[in-house]
Structures are given as structure tokens and as C-alpha cells.
């Protein structure tokens, strides 16, 4: 490309030129040098076009005098400097392009005089700064203004509403802030507005709905908030609409269905909510639809199946629910459908088998269930198919083997069962196949060896069985193979040595057996090898030293034997080496010091022997070294002090001896040091590593004294220092350990609970070796520098006087001091006292049984105060134990009379209620504590003497009693006949008199009764008359109102005394006068028989005549 200089132009006399247009030929000619200042003298010059011609320097300020200039095109040069203020004189300028230069500075306010300007391009200058001049609102003829890709700041000028002719306004990729001016709604000619990638905030102005000519509208990557204005439905010309990556809220307005010309809709990465409007089915020109990463809810509208042109549909990362619409099977233009990370449910629609152009189908991380439809085998264009993290069940369709162009198939984290289809060997294009975390069974198909494009195969965490197919050795592109957590058996195939692309091989948690194949040494790219938790045996192959890129090697929890290969020192990239819980023997290879990248080395729970290699001090990156529970011997290498990154060192449960190296205090990174259960000797180092948190050396044979420097003040991170079970360790723990809020308080209690003397409980002052002075009653032991208790030699003495050992100050309980400061037994002198109060001798604390305190230190007998009680419960006065005869306990400590419950019993046996002693008259005991009637056993006797069965009182017929029996009358000795007749007459006369008296009194009583009945009938209701008045009798009277038949003679003459009383309904109520009688029954009094008198009966039978 030829270069030309502009210097010759200056030789001309421009004033005389009639040139109107100057431009480069656009044929690759490039100029060097500056823009000619002299061109300003060409009076008729109107057009300058040097786009991309290589000019440097600044914009000539002199050009501002070229009043005739209408077009200046200087874009894509190497111009620098600022925009000249002098160019404000270009008042006829209609087009100005200076884009893609190295200009800087601000937009001159004075350029507002360019009122004829129609097109201005300042884009991609990168260095223009300042604010947008409100003064430029005078450029009312502007149709396009490009200010993009600069560093403008400040707000959008509301004054620019005057740009009524503006069609294209590009302000993107700046640092503009503030809000969108509502006044800009007047810019109705706008067709392309791009404000993206700024810092604009606030709401979307509803007034912009007047921009009906807008076709391209980009506001994405700002900080806009608020809702989407439904009034913007008037922007019916919109084709490209993008507002993604803001903070917009609210719902998608159904009114926007009027935007039927929309082709691209980008509203992803906002905070939009609500459902997808079914009315948007009218947007039939949509090709790209992005609403992912919002908070949308609701279901997928079946109506949207009318969007036949949509190719890219992104609605992932929302909260959309419901099922997948089967009607969407008609959206045959779909290339990408992204719905993952939602809450979709239901099954996969077989109808979607018609999506003939689908390439990317992403439905992962939902709640979809059901089986995988075999009908989808027609989706032969699928390349990326993601269904992971759902709830799919059933088997994997073998018919999907027709998806022969698929590259990525993710079915992991579901509930799929069944076996792996051998037919899938036809999917030779597959690169990533994930089916881990399911319940797949069966074996690994040898046929899959044909899937030679695979680079990732994840089948871990299933229940696969069988052996590892040696045929898979053809999968030479595999870089990641996950088969862990299954039930695979058999050996590791040596043939897999051809898988040289492997970087990550995981087969942990299976039942693999036999040895580690030395042939695998060809896997030189391997970085992660997980074979732990199997049943592998044999030794560690030295040949594996060629795996120099190994980062993680996990072989723990197996049955490996043999020694640690020194050759492995070549694995210089190793970061984590886990060989614990095996049966490894031998020593620690000093050569491993070459593993200079090793961070974590776990060798615990093996049978390793020998000493700790001092050469390992060069393993400087080491952070965790665990050698515990082996049989290591020797001492701790002082050289290891250089391992300043070591954080965890565990060597407990070995046979290490020697002392703790003082040099280890330089291990500035060490936080956990576990050396307990060894045979360490020597003294504790005066200084510990500065970041130590756990220091555990218990159960050793450490000697010397505890350094008093072991405090939280000196070691702020320390949490535990365990020193117990070191019998030759002397001195005392620092006193700060005993403060409950101290981090080492638990270390103190650990010693205290193990009865260690290291706690020095009675120490009052300390020195560098331990206790310097003890509390009263203790003294410092010169050997252990601990407090030992002074032994008070006075018998039965608690403490001696002033720390003496032979002068008692306080005696034991029940002892007292005598005049010689000795202890003698106290004797309680109170009568009937068990023990005296507070070790006194004359104040009783506890009296003997059935004695109580008299309130003055003495004891008096208790007196039972319960009435009728023969004896109270011991040590009580109000709780009876034994009541008097014929009394019993009332359950509350008192006594109550016994009540004889035997029927017809006059008196029960003492202290019983159910055993009769004396029955009523003419009754006798039945032999079981009850009473039964006596039966007169005298022949021909009609009645025995009361309370007898063999003494007759009345005999039959003419028989007479004789000696308790009955016999015939004896002759002679009778009365004369005349006397007998006289007696009979007298008796008859007496009976007649008695009858007359009886009739008299009965009549009077009947009359009185009738008057009472009639009087009561007038004053009381029938209900009240049924209530019986009391009748005075000796003990008890029962009165029952009876209704009798009227006096008309309707009575049947039966004796009512022999019938039960009749109710009012049963008694006929005839006659004018109804009479009610009362039957009075006098209850037996003092053994007399019951006498019943029915006055009504006597009246009806004419026994009583009424006056």
C-alpha cells in the first residue's frame, strides 16, 4: 500500500482554486502527515472525505473558517487532540464523521451553532469524556448521532427532546447515568435507539410509548428498575428489543401482544415475575426469545405453539411450573429450547418427536418424571441433550441409538433403572455421556468400545456389576472415566494402558480385586486416580513413576502390601497422596523428598517401620502429614523445622522416642501437633510453634517441668495442650489455665479429671519451674515443685492451727478441742436423744423413737392425740396405727366406728363388721358370721318361746305345755261350769263395749278426714295434693294419696290393703262427689307390728256411717 505525504498540497494557492470536493480514492492509498491547514482557504470547498487514509495529528482549528464546508469524513484515521471549539463556525455542515480516531476531551458546547448538521459520528473514539451538552438541542435537523464506545458520563439531557428528526441515536458503551428522560417521548422519528452498557437507573418512561417508529431498541446492561409499561404496546414497529441484565420487575404485559413484528426479544437476567402471557401467541415472527434468569412463574402456554418461526427459546432459571405442552411439537423451527432449572412436572411429551430441527434440548433440574419416550428416537438432529436432576424412572431406551449426531447426553441424577443398552454403540459421535447417580444395573457393555469419540463417561453411583471390559481399551480419547460407587468386581484390565488420554479415572467404592497393573504406567496424562475402598492387593508398582502429571492418587482402604516405592519420587506434580488403611510395610523412602509439590500425605493405619527421614525437610509445600498408628521408631528430626507450611502433623500411636526438638518452634504454619501414645522422653520445649492450636503429647515419658510460657497470651490460637499420663513430668500448669473463660480451661480439666498433680490446686505463686508457694495447709515439694498437703498429726483433727501439724484448730465432727488443743469425742447428754444439734452436747437434734423436742433442746414423750386411738404410728401424734375396740382407721390417720353390716344382727363380734355375735330375736347364727331364722323343733308346738327352738310356748288343740314340750291335760282341778259360763258372758259384754267405742271413734275420724280432703282440694292443685303431709308417728310415717271409687257403690268389695295402689287413670271417677282417701302406714315402732287402716275401705263396706 503506497504512502503519500500531503506536504505538496501546501505549494498551491488555494484561494484561487475552485475545488469543491477532496477525497482519497479508497483504493488503499494511505497518507502520512497532518491534515493541511491551507485547505481552509479554498472558498468553495464543500466536501472532504479521507476515511481510513492514515492521517495523524490534530483537527485543524483553521477549518472552522470554511463556511462552505457541508461534509467532513475523517473516520478511522490516527487523529489525536481535541474537538476544536473553532469549528463552531461550520454553520453549513450537514455531515461530520470523526469516529475511530484517538481524539480526546469533551464535546464543545459551542458546536450548538451547527444547526444544519444532520449526521454526526463520534463513535469508538474511546477517550471522549464529559457530559452530553444540552446546548446541542439546537441541532434540530440531526437524523443520526453516534457517541458510542466512549467515556461520557452524566445524565441524558432532557433538552434533547428537540431532536424531532432524530432516527438513529447511539449512546452505548459509555458511563452515562441518571434516568431515562420522559421528555424524549417527543422523538417520534426514532427508529434505532441504543443505550446499552451504561449506568442508567430508574423506571421505563410510559411517555415513550409515542416512539411508534422504533425498530431497534437496546437498553440492556444498565441498572433500570420498575415494571414494563403496558402503554409501550404502541411500539408496533419493534423488531429488535433488548433489555437484558437490568433489575426490571413486574410481569410481561399481555398488551405487548400487539408487537407482532418482533423478531428478537432479549429480557433475560432481570427480576421479572408472573406468567408467560398466552396472548403473546400473536408474535408469530419471533425468532429469538430470551427470558432466562428471572423469577417467572405460571405454566408454558400451549397457545405459543403458533410461534412457528422461533428458533432459540431460553426460559431457564425461573420458577415455571406445570407440564411440557404437547402442542409445542408444532414449533418445528426450534433449534435450541432451554427450560432447565425450573419447577416443571409431568412427563416428556411423545408429540415432541416432530421437532425435526432441534439441536439443543435442555430440560435439566426440574421435577419431570415418567419414562424416557422411545418415540424421541426421531430427534436425529440432537447434539446437546440434558435431562439431569429430574425424577425420570424406567429404563434407558435402546431406540435412542438413532441419535447418531449427539455429542452431549446428560441423564445423571435421576431414578433410571435397567441396564446400559449395547445398541448405543452406534452413537459414535458422543463426546460426553453422563448417567451417574441413578439405579442402573447390569454390566458394562463391551460393545461400547465403538464409541471412540467419548472423552467423558460418568457412570458412578449406580449398582452396576460385572467386570471392567478389556475391549474398552479402544476408547483412546477418554479423558474422564467415572465408575466409582458401584458393585464392580474383577481386576483392573492391563489392556486399558492404551487409554493414554485419561486425565481423571475414578473407580473407588467397588469390589475390585487383584493387583495394580504396572502396564498403566503409559497413562502419562493421568492427573486424578481414585481406586480407594476396594479389595486391591499386591504392591505399589514402581513403574507408575512415569505418571508424572498425577495430582491426586487415592489408594486408601484396600489390602495393599509391600513397601513404598522410592521411584515414585518422580511424581513431582503429586499434591495429594492417600495410602492409609492398608497393610504397607517397610520404611519411609528418603527419596520422596523429591515430591516437592506434595501438600497432603496420609500414611496412617499401616505397618510402616523405621525412622522419620530427615531429608523430607525439603518437602516445603507440605501442609498435612499423617503417620499415626504405625510402628515408626527413632526421634523427631530437628531438620523438619524448615517445613514452615506444615499445618497438621500426626504421629501418635507409634514408638517414637527422644525429645521434642526445640527447633520445631520455627514451624510457623504448624497448628495441629499430635504425638501422644509414643515413648517420647526429655523435657518440653520452652517455645511452641506460634500458630499452634492443638498440642497433644499425653501418654509418653516426658520429664522436666511444664514451661510457664504455655499460655494463651503467648499462643493466641491455642485450644488444647494435653499433658496427662506423663508420670515423670513435674511442675504446674500455668494458673491462667484455671480460668473458665480461658481457651485452655478444658486442658486443665483434662488433667484434673485424670487426678494429675500437675494442676497444683493449692499453689499461690509460681516460678519458672512450678510452684513457689502454697496455700494454707500445703507445702511445696522440692522435687516435683508441686503443692503437697501438710499432714496434721493431731488425731481426729480437720485443720491445724496456723499451718502447724501438732496444734489442732478444728476437730472432726463429733469431736471437740480440749485444753491441750487435742480432739476428744463429744458426748450427747440429753436423755432420750439420738444425736445432739450441731455437735453440741446439750441441744438435741434428733430424739429417740416416740420422743420429740421440747423446744429447749430436750426430749419429751409423744402423746397420741387421735380420739379412739389405742396407739399412734411411731414418731407421730396425729397418725393412728391401732384404733380402740370396734373402731377402725378412717384412712387419714383418724378412727371411725365400725358398723355391723350383717342383716338381722344385733351385735357383731368385737373389731369386726361382717361377723355377727348376737342375732335379732328368733334368729340365730348361721355358722359363717350371718343370721338365719330359728325353727321351733317341739312336736305339736305352734310357737316356741322367743329365742328358743326347743321350749314351746303354745301347743296345738287341747295340748298344754309341759317342761318345754306339749302334752295332754291332766284330769281334776278344773273350774265349775257356772264359773266358766260367767266368765264367757263377761268377756262378750266387754267385747261389745269395745266395738261400740271403736265405731264411735272411727266415724269421727272419717268425718275429720273428709273435711281435710275437701279443704285441701280447694286450696291446692292436683300436683300439690300428691305431696303427702307428715303424720306424726312414733318413728316414721309414709303417706300415699289414693284415689278411691265414688260412694255410689261401684267398689268391688275387695280389700285395698291386699292390692297395689292404683293410678289416677286406673281409678274410675264417677259420682258428683269424688273422695280421696289417705292410707296411713305406721312403721313398726319398738318391735310392734304394722297396723294399716284404710278408712275408705271401711266406709265403702258400711263399717263407718257418715252423718
DSSP class of residue 1022 equals H
pLDDT reading at 974 higher than 90: no
**In contact, 300 and 278? CB cutoff 8 Å:** no
Higher pLDDT pick, 1012 / 309? 309
pLDDT reading at 1097 higher than 50: no
pLDDT score, position 970: 63
pLDDT score, position 838: 72
Q: How far is it, in rounded angstroms, from Cα 202 to Cα 321?
A: 31
Over residues 574-598, the mean pLDDT reads: 98
pLDDT reading at 1075 higher than 70: no
Q: How far is it, in rounded angstroms, from Cα 1069 to Cα 1047?
A: 11
Per-residue pLDDT reduced to its tens digit, 86-113: 999 999 999 999 999 999 999 999 999 9
**Buried-state track 481-517, b at ≥16 Cβ within 10 A, e below 16:** bbbbbbebebebbebbebbebbbbbbbbbbebbeebb
Over residues 579-607, the mean pLDDT reads: 98
Per-residue pLDDT reduced to its tens digit, 26-56: 545 566 689 999 888 888 999 999 999 999 9
**In contact, 200 and 220? CB cutoff 8 Å:** no
Q: How far is it, in rounded angstroms, from Cα 868 to Cα 854?
A: 25
pLDDT-wise least confident of 277-291, 466-480, 834-848: 834-848
pLDDT-wise least confident of 676-680, 748-752, 938-942: 938-942
pLDDT reading at 781 higher than 80: no
Share of the chain above pLDDT 90, in %: 65
Which residues, other chains included, contact 762 with Cβ-Cβ below 8 Å and sequence gap of 6+?
774, 775, 777, 778, 787, 789
- In the structure grid, which three cell numbers stand for residue 453, read together? 469419540
β strands within 471-559, DSSP E: 480-482, 504-506, 528-530, 552-554
pLDDT reading at 313 higher than 90: yes
Q: Count Cβ atoms below 10 Å from residue 713 Cβ, excluding itself.
A: 9
Q: Count Cβ atoms below 10 Å from residue 35 Cβ, excluding itself.
A: 23
Task: Please give the helix or strand (H or E) that residue 1097 lies within, else none.
Answer: helix 1095-1100
Which residues, other chains included, contact 791 with Cβ-Cβ below 8 Å and sequence gap of 6+?
805
pLDDT score, position 51: 93
The upper half-sphere exposure of residue 945, i.e. CA atoms within 13 Å in the direction of its Cβ, equals 10
Sort 946 into a burial class: Cβ within 10 Å, 0-12 / 13-18 / 19+: exposed
pLDDT reading at 1096 higher than 70: no
* Residue appearing with cell numbers 318361746: 945
**In contact, 123 and 170? CB cutoff 8 Å:** yes
Phi, psi of 705 (to 5 degrees): -120, 155
Over residues 737-747, the mean pLDDT reads: 95
pLDDT score, position 996: 85
pLDDT reading at 175 higher than 70: yes
pLDDT reading at 1023 higher than 60: no
Cα pseudo-dihedral 899, 901, 907, 910, rounded to 10: -60
Q: How far is it, in rounded angstroms, from Cα 428 to Cα 419?
A: 19
Phi, psi of 177 (to 5 degrees): -135, -160
pLDDT score, position 14: 61
Phi, psi of 528 (to 5 degrees): -130, 115
- pTM of the entire structure? 0.69
DSSP class of residue 35 equals P
β-sheet bridge partners, residue 797: 811
The pLDDT-based confidence of 1092 (bands split at 50, 70, 90) is very low
**In contact, 1047 and 1068? CB cutoff 8 Å:** no
pLDDT score, position 1076: 39
Over residues 112-139, the mean pLDDT reads: 97
Share of the chain above pLDDT 70, in %: 87
The upper half-sphere exposure of residue 92, i.e. CA atoms within 13 Å in the direction of its Cβ, equals 12
Q: How far is it, in rounded angstroms, from Cα 837 to Cα 859?
A: 12
pLDDT reading at 514 higher than 70: yes
Mean pLDDT is highest, among 24-33, 62-71, 183-192, for 183-192
**In contact, 146 and 99? CB cutoff 8 Å:** yes
pLDDT reading at 1101 higher than 70: no
The pLDDT-based confidence of 1045 (bands split at 50, 70, 90) is very low
Over residues 1080-1089, the mean pLDDT reads: 39
- In the structure grid, which three cell numbers stand for residue 805, read together? 501439724
β-sheet bridge partners, residue 916: 908
**In contact, 390 and 414? CB cutoff 8 Å:** yes
**In contact, 322 and 296? CB cutoff 8 Å:** no
Per-residue pLDDT reduced to its tens digit, 323-369: 999 999 999 999 999 999 999 999 999 999 999 999 999 999 999 99
Q: Count Cβ atoms below 10 Å from residue 603 Cβ, excluding itself.
A: 23
* Residue appearing with cell numbers 435421576: 414
Beta pairing, strands 778-780 & 851-853? unpaired
pLDDT score, position 21: 92
Higher pLDDT pick, 811 / 605? 605
pLDDT score, position 268: 98
Domains along the chain with CATH numbers: 1-163 (3.80.10.10), 273-368 (3.80.10.10), 373-536 (3.80.10.10), 632-741 (3.80.10.10), 760-791 (no CATH)
Over residues 620-624, the mean pLDDT reads: 97
| Per-chain mean pLDDT for the chain | 88
pLDDT reading at 430 higher than 50: yes
The pLDDT-based confidence of 1049 (bands split at 50, 70, 90) is very low
pLDDT score, position 1100: 46
Per-residue pLDDT reduced to its tens digit, 1005-1017: 665 555 555 555 4
Q: Count Cβ atoms below 10 Å from residue 302 Cβ, excluding itself.
A: 15
The pLDDT-based confidence of 699 (bands split at 50, 70, 90) is very high
CA angle, residues 850, 856, 859, in degrees to nearest 5: 20
pLDDT reading at 696 higher than 50: yes
Integer CA distances (angstroms), 788 to 737, 784, 800, in order: 20, 10, 15
Cα pseudo-dihedral 837, 838, 839, 844, rounded to 10: 0
pLDDT reading at 694 higher than 70: yes
**In contact, 433 and 456? CB cutoff 8 Å:** yes
The pLDDT-based confidence of 979 (bands split at 50, 70, 90) is low
Q: How far is it, in rounded angstroms, from Cα 564 to Cα 601?
A: 12
The pLDDT-based confidence of 15 (bands split at 50, 70, 90) is low
Over residues 631-656, the mean pLDDT reads: 98
Nearest Cα residue to 215 out of 184, 246, 194:
194
Higher pLDDT pick, 807 / 469? 469
Over residues 649-655, the mean pLDDT reads: 98
Over residues 553-573, the mean pLDDT reads: 98
pLDDT score, position 109: 98
- In the structure grid, which three cell numbers stand for residue 725, read together? 499420663
Q: How far is it, in rounded angstroms, from Cα 105 to Cα 59?
A: 13
pLDDT score, position 791: 76
Per-residue pLDDT reduced to its tens digit, 850-904: 888 888 888 989 888 888 898 898 888 888 988 988 888 888 889 999 888 888 8
Amino acid at each position: 500500500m503506497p504512502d503519500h505525504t500531503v506536504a505538496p498540497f501546501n505549494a498551491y494557492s488555494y484561494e484561487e482554486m475552485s475545488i469543491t470536493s477532496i477525497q482519497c480514492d479508497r483504493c488503499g492509498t494511505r497518507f502520512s502527515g497532518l491534515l493541511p491547514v491551507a485547505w481552509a482557504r479554498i472558498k468553495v470547498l464543500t466536501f472532504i472525505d479521507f476515511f481510513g487514509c492514515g492521517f495523524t495529528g490534530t483537527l485543524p482549528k483553521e477549518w472552522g473558517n470554511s463556511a462552505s464546508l457541508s461534509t467532513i469524513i475523517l473516520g478511522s484515521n490516527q487523529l489525536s487532540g481535541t474537538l476544536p471549539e473553532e469549528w463552531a463556525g461550520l454553520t453549513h455542515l450537514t455531515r461530520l464523521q470523526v469516529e475511530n480516531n484517538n481524539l480526546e476531551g469533551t464535546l464543545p458546547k459551542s458546536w450548538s451553532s451547527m444547526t444544519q448538521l444532520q449526521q454526526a459520528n463520534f463513535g469508538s473514539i474511546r477517550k471522549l469524556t464529559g457530559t452530553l451538552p444540552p446546548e446541542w438541542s439546537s441541532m434540530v435537523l440531526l437524523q443520526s448521532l453516534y457517541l458510542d464506545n466512549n467515556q461520557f458520563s452524566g445524565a441524558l439531557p432532557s433538552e434533547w427532546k428537540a431532536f424531532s428528526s432524530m432516527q438513529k441515536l447511539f449512546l452505548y458503551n459509555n458511563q452515562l447515568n441518571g434516568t431515562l428522560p420522559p421528555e424524549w417521548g417527543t422523538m417520534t422519528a426514532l427508529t434505532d435507539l441504543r443505550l446499552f452498557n451504561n449506568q442508567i437507573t430508574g423506571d421505563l418512561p410510559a411517555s415513550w410509548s409515542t416512539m411508534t417508529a422504533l425498530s431497534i431498541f437496546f437498553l440492556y446492561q444498565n441498572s433500570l428498575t420498575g415494571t414494563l409499561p403496558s402503554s409501550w404496546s404502541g411500539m408496533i414497529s419493534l423488531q429488535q428489543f433488548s433489555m437484558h441484565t437490568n433489575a426490571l420487575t413486574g410481569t410481561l404485559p399481555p398488551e405487548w401482544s400487539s408487537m407482532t413484528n418482533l423478531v428478537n426479544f432479549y429480557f433475560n437476567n432481570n427480576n421479572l415475575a408472573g406468567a408467560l402471557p398466552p396472548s403473546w401467541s400473536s408474535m408469530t415472527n419471533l425468532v429469538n426469545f430470551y427470558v432466562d434468569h428471572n423469577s417467572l412463574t405460571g405454566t408454558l402456554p400451549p397457545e405459543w405453539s403458533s410461534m412457528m418461526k422461533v428458533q432459540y427459546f431460553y426460559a431457564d432459571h425461573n420458577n415455571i411450573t406445570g407440564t411440557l405442552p404437547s402442542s409445542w411439537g408444532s414449533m418445528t423451527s426450534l433449534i435450541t429450547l432451554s427450560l432447565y432449572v425450573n419447577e416443571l412436572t409431568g412427563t416428556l411429551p411423545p408429540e415432541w418427536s416432530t421437532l425435526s430441527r432441534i439441536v439443543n434440548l435442555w430440560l435439566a433440574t426440574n421435577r419431570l418424571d415418567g419414562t424416557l419416550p422411545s418415540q424421541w428416537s426421531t430427534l436425529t438432529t440432537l447434539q446437546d441433550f440434558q435431562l439431569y436432576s429430574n425424577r425420570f424412572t424406567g429404563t434407558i431406551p435402546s431406540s435412542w441409538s438413532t441419535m447418531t449426531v449427539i455429542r452431549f447426553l446428560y441423564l445423571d441424577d435421576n431414578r433410571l433403572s435397567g441396564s446400559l443398552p449395547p445398541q448405543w454403540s452406534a452413537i459414535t459421535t458422543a463426546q460426553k455421556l453422563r448417567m451417574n447417580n441413578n439405579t442402573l444395573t447390569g454390566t458394562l457393555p463391551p460393545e461400547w468400545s465403538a464409541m471412540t469419540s467419548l472423552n467423558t463417561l460418568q457412570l458412578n453411583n449406580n449398582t452396576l456389576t460385572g467386570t471392567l471390559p478389556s475391549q474398552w481399551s479402544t476408547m483412546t480419547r477418554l479423558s474422564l472415566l467415572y465408575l466409582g460407587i458401584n458393585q464392580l468386581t474383577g481386576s483392573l484390565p492391563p489392556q486399558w494402558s492404551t487409554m493414554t488420554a485419561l486425565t481423571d479415572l475414578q473407580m473407588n467404592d467397588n469390589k475390585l480385586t487383584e493387583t495394580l497393573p504396572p502396564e498403566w504406567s503409559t497413562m502419562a496424562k493421568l492427573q486424578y486416580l481414585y481406586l480407594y475402598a476396594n479389595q486391591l492387593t499386591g504392591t505399589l508398582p514402581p513403574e507408575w513413576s512415569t505418571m508424572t502429571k498425577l495430582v491426586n492418587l487415592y489408594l486408601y482402604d484396600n489390602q495393599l502390601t509391600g513397601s513404598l516405592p522410592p521411584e515414585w519420587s518422580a511424581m513431582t506434580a503429586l499434591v495429594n497422596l492417600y495410602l492409609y488403611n492398608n497393610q504397607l510395610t517397610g520404611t519411609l523412602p528418603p527419596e520422596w523428598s523429591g515430591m516437592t509439590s506434595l501438600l497432603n500425605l496420609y500414611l496412617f493405619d499401616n505397618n510402616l517401620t523405621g525412622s522419620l527421614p530427615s531429608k523430607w525437610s525439603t518437602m516445603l509445600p507440605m501442609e498435612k502429614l499423617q503417620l499415626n498408628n504405625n510402628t515408626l521408631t527413632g526421634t523427631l528430626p530437628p531438620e523438619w523445622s524448615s517445613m514452615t507450611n506444615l499445618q497438621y502433623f500426626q504421629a501418635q500411636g507409634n514408638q517414637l522416642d527422644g525429645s521434642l526438638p526445640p527447633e520445631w518452634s520455627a514451624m510457623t504454619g504448624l497448628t495441629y501437633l499430635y504425638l501422644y501414645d509414643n515413648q517420647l522422653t526429655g523435657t518440653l520445649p520452652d517455645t511452641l510453634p506460634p500458630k499452634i492450636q492443638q498440642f497433644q503429647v499425653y501418654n509418653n515419658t516426658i520429664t522436666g517441668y511444664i514451661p510457664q510460657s504455655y499460655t494463651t497470651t503467648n499462643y493466641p490460637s491455642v485450644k488444647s495442650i494435653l499433658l496427662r499420663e506423663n508420670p515423670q513430668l513435674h511442675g504446674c500448669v500455668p494458673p491462667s489455665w484455671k480460668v473458665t473463660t480461658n481457651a485452655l480451661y478444658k486442658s486443665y480439666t483434662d488433667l484434673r479429671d485424670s487426678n494429675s498433680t500437675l494442676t497444683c490446686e493449692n499453689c499461690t505463686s509460681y516460678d519458672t519451674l512450678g510452684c513457689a508457694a502454697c496455700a494454707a495447709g500445703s507445702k511445696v515439694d522440692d522435687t516435683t515443685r508441686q503443692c503437697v498437703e501438710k499432714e496434721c498429726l493431731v488425731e481426729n483433727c480437720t485443720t491445724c492451727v496456723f499451718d502447724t501439724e501438732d496444734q489442732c484448730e478444728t476437730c472432726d465432727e463429733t469431736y471437740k478441742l480440749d485444753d491441750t488443743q487435742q480432739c476428744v469425742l463429744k458426748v450427747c447428754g440429753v436423755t432420750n436423744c439420738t444425736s445432739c444439734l450441731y455437735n453440741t452436747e446439750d441441744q438435741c437434734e434428733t430424739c429417740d423413737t416416740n420422743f420429740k423436742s421440747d423446744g429447749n433442746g430436750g426430749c419429751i414423750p409423744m402423746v397420741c392425740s387421735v380420739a379412739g386411738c389405742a396407739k399412734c404410728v411411731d414418731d407421730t401424734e396425729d397418725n393412728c396405727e391401732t384404733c380402740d375396740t370396734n373402731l377402725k382407721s378412717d384412712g387419714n390417720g383418724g378412727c371411725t366406728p365400725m358398723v355391723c353390716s350383717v342383716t338381722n344382727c344385733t351385735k357383731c363380734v368385737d373389731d369386726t363388721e361382717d361377723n355377727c355375735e348376737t342375732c335379732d330375736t328368733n334368729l340365730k347364727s348361721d355358722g359363717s358370721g350371718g343370721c338365719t331364722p330359728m325353727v321351733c323343733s317341739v312336736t305339736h308346738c305352734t310357737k316356741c318361746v322367743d329365742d328358743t327352738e326347743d321350749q314351746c310356748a303354745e301347743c296345738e288343740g287341747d295340748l298344754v305345755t309341759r317342761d318345754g314340750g306339749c302334752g295332754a291335760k291332766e284330769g281334776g282341778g278344773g273350774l265349775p261350769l257356772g264359773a266358766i259360763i260367767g266368765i264367757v258372758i263377761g268377756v262378750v259384754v266387754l267385747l261389745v263395749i269395745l266395738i261400740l267405742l271403736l265405731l264411735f271413734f272411727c266415724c269421727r275420724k272419717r268425718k275429720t278426714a273428709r273435711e281435710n280432703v275437701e279443704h285441701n282440694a280447694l286450696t291446692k292443685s292436683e300436683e300439690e295434693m300428691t305431696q303427702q303431709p307428715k303424720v306424726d308417728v312414733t318413728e316414721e310415717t309414709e303417706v300415699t294419696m289414693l284415689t278411691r271409687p265414688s260412694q255410689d257403690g261401684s267398689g268391688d268389695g275387695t280389700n285395698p290393703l291386699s292390692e297395689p295402689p292404683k293410678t289416677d287413670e286406673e281409678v274410675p271417677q264417677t259420682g258428683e262427689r269424688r273422695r280421696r282417701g289417705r292410707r296411713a302406714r305406721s312403721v313398726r315402732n319398738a318391735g310392734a307390728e304394722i297396723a294399716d287402716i284404710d278408712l275408705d275401705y271401711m266406709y265403702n263396706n258400711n263399717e263407718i256411717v257418715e252423718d
